[in-house]
Structure 1
Amino acid sequence: MTGVERIRVRVHGLVQGVGFRPFVCVLAGEHGVAGFVGNDAGGVFIEAEGHRPDLDGFVAALRQQAPPLAIVDQVTVEATDPTGETGFRIVASEGGALREALVAPDTAPCADCLAELVDPACRRFGHPFTNCTNCGPRFTIVTGVPYDRHTTTMADFAMCAACEREYRDPQDRRFHAQPVCCPSCGPALRLLGADGLPVPGDPITTAVTWLRQGRILAVKGLGGYHLAVLADQARAVDVLRARKRREVRPFAVMAPDLAAAGALVHLRPEAERLLTGIRRPIVLAPRRENAAIAEAVAPGSRDLGVMLPHTPLHHLLAGQTARPFVLTSGNLSGEPIACHDEDALRRLSSVADGFLLHDRRIHVRADDSLIRVYRGRELPIRRSRGYVPAPITVPWPFPRPVLACGAELKNTFCVAKGVQAFVSHHIGDLENYETLRSFTEGIDHFCRIFGVRPAVIAHDLHPEYLSTKYAMEQHEPDLVGVQHHHAHIASCLADNGYAGQVIGVAFDGLGFGTDGTLWGGELLIADLTTFHRAGHLEAVPMPGGAAAIRQPWRMAAAFLDRGYGDDVPDLPVRRRHHDRWAAAVALARTGTNSPLTSSAGRLFDAVSAVAGIRDVITYEGQAAAELEARVDPAEQGAYPMRVDDGDLLVMAGSDLVRSAAEDVRSGVAVERIAARFHNGLAAAVVRAVRSLRDRTGLETVALSGGVFQNVILLELVVSGLERHGLQVLVHSRVPPGDGGISLGQAVVAAARDRLSRCAEADPRPAHRRSSYPRKPS
């Protein structure tokens, strides 16, 4: 036919598992072009034939009208010879060694699927697994790429004739929806007792009855099991705490709808959009005084984590319950969330009174994501379900594929290639064997589905971290050690797409320093390649080593000894631990089992203990979180804090602890003490950063580390720096805590790799060039 042309089109991005091929078919019909579309390991491939104006409109629409869940990164077009083809079709997916296609995160049910769920006339009425191309499970069921049914755990279920018709119909929204199913052919719910035996009757109705009776229910979700009790039943919440061995860490609450969530917490529009969006994270928001929940749901916390249903199953549960219910991770304290049925029945039988489960396998364990809102933007605390494995795109390409192994606590890993960094779901604390196995299996899975064969492995400097030991066991790739706090700052730079040098403020629990001490309150002059330590919080001993992390009163003893010497007053914290106080001080003074630390987290611990808030913790960061929760926002006073303006700036944390002690002796309210501490620390940070600006001329500051999950301190520091004309970078795509460390490690390794390659091409003598160690010495 005269004037007919044919093109080959390649679409890169998040274009598999999001209804892109059906969208292309419909688009081809609208523009009158013939050809075919398919998936392969690189993304979506298309051949289209028609007249030039129709082809141009078709290609433009690929970019501009993509499905809701799709992210189109690049569309490339090349001419080929016409074949006279008529019609447009989806062809079988192609495999291949190259893996460039992206895998979509799990997404909440769309409005159309929810309407079917409650429509008695629909054949999917009450079906807990309804989904379509615009919603449903993705990452947690994917076993490989290209994304097709046989590479998901839905391969276990053969489609019935009715579902097959929908799957083959280009006009149906379930056209090539891989998890498509119905009550006739899909996964099925079961309710089991604590003994593992089936319970007769409708599983949802009986489960809701059990919840109303005060029983604890284990519920199989998208990425693992949860434990549920009604949030207003105090005794049930207490029993759950006792059985789960989770004494005071706050529980998350699922509300049936946005109005019910708003009755529990104060919601700003940004938080509402998060709660009702496709990702459905837990959103941490200020709790209402009259919230109808048991006090034990979130003891010692001013905030409450709330979420809305994120699967049809949860919609059914919430709809019939019609009350908020606790939905917390299905594990015992310190263990990873259970995701396999046999494992859940074994590990949770001592906790749950019943199990609401189904027979669709979970391939990848994924905890709920936890988000705070700061200045209208997301501040991730835990980035997992709904977000992973969407890549973090950075402006600087990775010269070679990278694996970054992350930290020991709150671990994530990261695989990276091109300009994309795939930060993993929340793995957890690697001290647990099951969590370590999840770490190694997760790395294998990510490398396989994203086609990454690491040529470089980045790791923390701490030799005893299990993530570091894993890196050291890999013999082929080049190894790059990245200091913990440099990784924090680099993570913030990558989060913001900023490549320049900055003043970095890295405040966290602790990390291995280059001088052999435990850092954690650091002022760094850093870029993606290098850093130097420009200042820090004063280093104090940790009496008893790791015991001082679990027992903040020990840090109070060390700081008070530093601030008062032999004249420590008769404070309540000292009286509460009078039998061990002298021994702790002696350890601190001699240095016996008392490593030095500049940790901001340990400073928070000390003030928390002095103020009478928390002497002993049951979870990491508890003392600091409860100190933040007690802040009186109306208090304007600030404790003075010396900043020694020598070659290395030193901020005297003992000044803050001594001031808090004096206020305790004077009977000042705990809320005012907490506020004055936050105000004083923030003012000292601003003063120290201004001093470094004067020395260096740098005008940009990056804030990172777990302490900056504290939005009170974060706002005080940011607003203080901005008042003095500084540009401030904070996190919005990955957590400021250790969950973001792996991204920082990856971009540092890549930056050093680029520098090394430039050096190899540099004709100058070797002694004039920077070096990059290929293997650790």
Structure 2
Amino acid sequence: MEPAACLAVPDAQRIRLDVTGAVQGVGFRPFVYRLAVDEGLAGYVRNTAAGVTLEVEGPDSAIERFLARLRREVRPPALIEGLSRKSLEPTGRQGFTISSSSSDAAPSAHILPDLAMCEDCRAEVFDPADRRYRYPFTTCMHCGPRYSIIETAPYDRARTAMRHFAMCPACQAEYDDPASRRFHAETNACPDCGPQLALHAVDGTLLAKSDDALQGGIEALREGRIVALKGLGGFQLLVDARNEEAVARLRERKHRPAKPFAVMVGSSAEAEAIAHLSPLERDTLESAAAPIVLLQARKDAVRPLAPNVAPGNPNIGLLLLITPLHGLLMDALGFPIVATSGNRSGEPIAADDDEAFARLADIADFFLTHDRPILHPVDDSVLRVIAGQPTVLRCARGLAPLVLPDPKQTQPLVALGGHMKSALALGRSGQIVLGPHIGDLAHSETREAFARSVTTMRSLYAVEPAAVACDAHPDYHTSRVADGMGHPVSRVPHHLAHVLAVMTEHALTGPVLGVAWDGTGCGEDGTLWGGEFLTVDGTAHRRVAHLLPFRLPGGEAAIREPRRTAVGVLHALHGDALWDRGHTPLAAFSAEERGMLRAMSERGLNAPLTSSAGRLFDAVASLLNLCQRASFDGEAAMAVEFAAQAARTVHALPRPVIVPEGDVMAIDWRPMVSALADAAFAGVEAADLAAGFHHWLAETIVALARHEGISQVVLSGGCFQNALLTELAMTRLQEAGFRVYRAIRVPPNDGGLAVGQAAWAARLLDKVTG
């Protein structure tokens, strides 16, 4: 006879649930365990390559309560996206367990981004009575590394970099205790069994370990030294943000003359002492992603930062504590620190100790490292609140890998992104996965990091692509990589990818009018586009309008020198008469240089045509004498935005002129630029003219939208990192009755291109196979 303990309950059910979404590394199995035990159900839960599988057995009413609570009580960052249910024969099983993971199928589960230190762990680290007091690697189920340490899915300790650290009896007891928040926390560790700190000299010599290493790093920062800190996803370069001489030294060594540095503070209250902070910006700062948030700097700060932290910039990028290590540093220091990427400008972030010693030895004075391997480097994310929503400008630590649903992804594919702000994406099983920011592919080190990222992402998600997508530019590094992968290649027009990235994020099918404005991208007619209006519907797209083209004297040199771009714009306006006029940009050149520029402009030699809105921003920056030479991408456009934000009034400029140009429309900006240049020469405030330029741009978008008559308008491309332009365009479009969509979770710049490429390649594959 069957034992009484195994007798089936009369109204018992047994069901299996296969759950997909963000359900690994987020405490989902312990959550299920506690829920099942609370309802008196038997069964098990385990990780699988696809997500989580669980079985529950017990009374029908208890199972229904369990199912309702499963959906209702799950908490972020856990997220249930799919849940399939299958009824099974009851077995009379007793008790509920967390079973060993299964890895039989191809990996498809979400891989969670790294999470910043939670408040519970912070409390333990600063509690002298706690066994983790002052332990820099304290984590629990709610915080700590995830993506940066995973070797393969499913997410279990044995498949992460934590496999090198065997848990001590006390940590193992927590791991096995359903009442502990470290119940099945794969990163669980303590001072007795976990990772340890080390302080090194620039030649790699070990100077101190553990708390002595921490104290050495603290003293170095107090003395104005530059410390390379091995953080959550890679190295950061730290220095006292109040010390102008120390910041200048970091700029010189890092070869970063003007681009703003991010600053870390210990709390939101400290952030508010430096910058204006709205409730939404505070929430963004304090989120589990702990991103850099661009905020308006206070002019009345009691303890101001060194002026060369963000020279000429009314904003400051702030971030809060990422790890307990940062918390211990900031608590001891009591002042804000520069926390910038551990690299030279344009290179990828360093993550391995030996790599850091080799690449950062001539920048840092000391290295504060640890022995937990970073398997996948990931830089800090950057956000800005635009039009009332936190907008991702760089998708990295805390946010990537980013999963977006896309029903068209029926076959596996790889999208390689662009050349600048490189990031790749995978298409698979109804979704697109955007990987973390890598960098600009002009450098060999970044190309090596890109190759590693391709290998990593394909391996983690077991993707053998049916196709590879890349930019249409034939000379991009990503285009050459695509050609060498041995799969069919889909070359996606640059600005179409921008529009499709936003469409994918908002699940739009079309028709839409896409406004794709950026610096430059390869156009479908062989010129450089960047001020485009595209209609997109299904697999059909058409360029319906663009900004009137002008030349870029010197090609790439014009991108670095807005004054050259201004010459191209003025030549399109005045022709040969330009050289007899006294415009500001001309005064910046010698007589010999003017002769060379004249030949370029008139003959079109090394002076490609462009329709770029971003380059038009550059020309205006030069005409208003806001920026003649740029030391980093976007510097001139930022100067125009900052000037416009400071305007006391908006100087009215001529309305947009839309003229037919073959089968498309051209926006003639010449009357506007002529009026702007004349007003600047007459002494009108540059800020008021910059504001007028922004209003002209927004009016241009509305005029084209009215002309095309498509109700859905998509704003895409790097120009829409500009908060003023985005907000003006959205407000005027909405007032005119249009529905407006823009990039929010996906970067509007080239960091989001891979999403659009994956979306387009999938649509083409679907069309062929369908």
TM-score (norm 2): 0.95
Whether contact under 8 Å (2:562, 2:618) holds in the other structure is yes
Residue 603 of structure 1 corresponds to 616
The whole-number CA distance in structure 2 between the counterparts of 1:270 and 1:283 is 11
Which of these residues, 509, 515, 525, is aligned with residue 519 of structure 2? 509
Give the superposition deviation at 1:539.
0.8
* In 1: Cα distance, 2:80 partner to 2:329 partner: 35
Q: Distance in 2 between matches of 1:519 and 1:508?
A: 8
> What is aligned with 1:536?
546
In the alignment, what sits opposite 2:4? none
Q: After TM superposition, where is structure 1 displaced by more than 6 Å over at least 4 residues in a row?
A: none
Partner of 2:432: 421
Stretch deviating more after TM superposition (441-450 or 414-423): 441-450
Residue 199 of structure 1: SS of its match in structure 2?
Answer: strand
Kindly indicate whether residue 489 of structure 2 is the aligned counterpart of residue 479 of structure 1: yes
In structure 2, the residue corresponding to 1:707 is in which secondary structure?
Answer: helix
Task: Please tell me the residue identity of whatever aligns with 1:596.
Answer: L
Question: Pairwise mapping of residues 668-687 of structure 1 onto structure 2 (< 5 A)?
Answer: 668-687=684-703
2:189 counterpart of 1:210? no
What's the counterpart of residue 3 of structure 2? Answer: none
C-alpha distance in structure 1 between counterparts of 2:256 and 2:700, whole Å = 36
Distance in 2, matches of 1:193 and 1:657, equals 55
Say which is worse superposed, 338-347 or 75-84, in terms of deviation: 75-84
Looking at structure 2, the residues matched to 635 and 757 of structure 1 have their Cα atoms a distance apart, in angstroms, of 57
Q: 1:628 and 2:641 equivalent?
A: yes
- Closer, same or farther in 2 for the Cα pair 1:360/1:408, shift >3 Å? same
Q: What residue is the counterpart of 1:767 in the other structure?
A: none
Q: Is the 8 A contact 1:603 1:653 kept in 2?
A: no
Map of 1:29-48 to 2, 5 A cutoff? 29-48=37-56
2:123 aligned to which of 115, 120, 124: 115
CA contact (8 A) 2:576 2:602 kept: no
1:400 matched to 2:411: yes
1:584 alignment partner in structure 2: 597
- Give the 3 Å change call, closer, same or farther, for CA 55–170 of structure 1 in structure 2: same
Amino acid at match of 2:658: D
Paired-residue identity, %: 41
Query: Which SS does the other structure have where 1:398 is aligned?
Result: coil
Map Cα deviations across residues 484-541 of structure 1 (whole Å, 9 max, x no partner).
Answer: 0011111111121111111111100111111111111001111342211111111111
User: Do 2:410 and 2:430's aligned partners in 1 also have CA atoms closer than 8 Å?
Assistant: no
Does structure 1 retain, via aligned residues, the 8 Å contact 2:712–2:739? yes
Contiguous gaps of at least 5 residues in structure 1:
759-777
Partner of 1:440: 451
Distance 1:316 1:633 in 2: 42
Q: What corresponds to 1:711 in structure 2?
A: 723
Q: Residues 679-758 of structure 1 correspond to what in structure 2 (within 5 A)?
A: 679-693=695-709, 698-758=710-770
Question: In the TM superposition, what is the alpha-carbon distance from 1:641 to its structure 2 partner?
Answer: 5.0
**Contact 1:638 / 1:678 at 8 angstroms: preserved in 2?**
no
Q: Determine whether 1:237 maps to 2:266.
A: no
Asked if residue 68 in structure 1 is aligned to residue 82 in structure 2, the reply is no
Q: CA deviation at 1:688?
A: 2.5
Aligned to 1:618: 631
1:169-180 equivalence runs, <5 A: 169-180=177-188
Alignment partner of 1:247 out of 250, 257, 269: 257
Does 1:363 pair with 2:379?
Answer: no
> Where does residue 557 of structure 1 map in the other structure?
567
Tell me if structure 1 keeps the 8 A contact 2:402–2:435.
no
Take 1:331 and 1:84, find their aligned partners in 2: how far apart are those partners?
A: 60
- Root-mean-square deviation (Å): 1.5
- 1:276 maps to a residue whose letter is E
> Does structure 2 conserve the Cα–Cα contact (< 8 Å) formed by 1:641 and 1:681?
no
- Partner Cα distance (1:442, 1:68) in 2: 27
Alpha-carbon contact 1:490-1:527 (below 8 Å) kept: no
Deviations 1:15-53 (A, max 9, x none): 111111112221121011112211111211112221211
Give the counterpart of 2:268 among 258, 282, 285: 258
How far has the Cα of 1:160 moved from its partner?
0.9
User: In the alignment, what sits opposite 1:372?
Assistant: 384
Asked if the contact 1:281/1:371 (under 8 Å) is kept, the reply is yes
Give 1:423 deviation, angstroms. Answer: 0.4
Offset, 1:242: 0.6
Provide the rounded CA distance (Å) in 2 between the counterparts of 1:581 and 1:712.
34
Deviation for aligned residue 1:235: 0.8
The answer for the alignment partner of 2:341 in structure 1 is 329
Superposed displacement of residue 566, structure 1: 3.2
Alpha carbons of 1:724 and 1:463: their partners in 2 closer, same or farther (altered >3 Å)? same
Where in structure 2 are the equivalents of 1:64-213 lying within 5 Å? 64-200=72-208, 202-213=212-223
1:357-399 CA-to-partner distances (Å, cap 9, x unmatched) read 11111111111110011222121110111011131123x3312
SS in 1 for 2:408: strand
Deviation per CA, 1:580-608, whole angstroms, max 9, x where unpaired? 12311210210111111111111111111
Q: Decide whether aligned partners of structure 1 residues 247 and 100 sit closer, same or farther in structure 2, where only a CA change above 3 A counts.
A: same
Distance 1:668-1:123 versus aligned 2 partners, 3 A rule: same
Q: Find the counterpart in structure 1 of residue 665 from structure 2.
A: 649
Q: Supply the distance in 2 between the matched residues of 1:151 and 1:622 (Cα, whole angstroms).
A: 43
Residues 97 and 451 in structure 1, CA contact (< 8 A), matched pair in contact too: no
Q: d(CA) in 2 for partners of 1:565 and 1:42?
A: 63
Q: Which deviates more from structure 2 when the two are superposed, residues 524-533 or residues 642-651?
A: 642-651
Q: Partners in 1 of 2:735 and 2:108 — Cα distance?
A: 45
The corresponding residue for 1:2 is 9
CA distance in 2, matches of 1:414, 1:330: 24
Q: What is the SS of the residue equivalent to 2:330?
A: helix
Aligned counterparts of 2:199 and 2:410: Cα–Cα separation in 1: 51
Deviation sequence 1:564-586 (CA, Å, 0-9, x none):
22333213321121331231121
Deviations 1:459-490 (A, max 9, x none): 11100011111111122x33212110011111
1:668-709 deviations in Å (ceiling 9; x for gaps): 22212222222222222322322222xxxx111111000111
**Counterpart of 1:339?**
351
Q: Does residue 470 of structure 1 match 2:481?
A: yes
Secondary structure of the residue aligned to 1:400 is: coil
CA contact (8 A) 1:400 1:750 kept: yes
8 Å CA contact 2:293, 2:318 repeated in 1: yes
Deviation at 1:67, TM superposition (A): 4.2
| Offset of residue 615 of structure 1 | 1.4
Q: Is the 8 A contact 2:658 2:666 kept in 1?
A: yes
Equivalent residues, number = 752
Change (3 A) 1:204 1:528: farther
SS in 1 for 2:136: coil
Partner residue, 1:319: 331
Match in the other structure for 2:576: 566
Which amino acid in structure 1 is aligned with residue 763 of structure 2?
A: A
C-alpha deviation, 1:204, in angstroms: 2.2
Alpha-carbon distance between aligned partners in 2 of 1:229 and 1:391, rounded to the nearest angstrom: 35
Between 1:347-356 and 1:663-672, the stretch displaced more is 663-672
Q: Which SS does the other structure have where 2:64 is aligned?
A: helix
Render the CA deviation track for 1:705-763: whole Å, top value 9, x for unaligned.
Answer: 001111111112111222211111111110111111111111111222222233xxxxx
Give secondary structure in 1 for the equivalent of 2:553. Answer: coil
Cα distance per residue 1:238-272 (max 9 Å; x no partner): 11101110000000011110011011111111111
* Equivalent residues of 2:9, 2:58 under 8 A apart: no
Amino acid at match of 1:278: A
Does the Cα contact within 8 Å between 1:643 and 1:649 map onto a contact in 2? no
CA contact (8 A) 2:469 2:757 kept: yes
Partner of 2:464: 453
Report the Cα distance in structure 1 between the residues aligned to 2:655 and 2:16, rounded to whole angstroms.
Answer: 66
- TM-aligned CA distance change 1:419 to 1:378, over 3 Å: farther
Aligned to 1:773: none
Greater mean alpha carbon deviation, residues 81-90 or residues 168-177 = 81-90
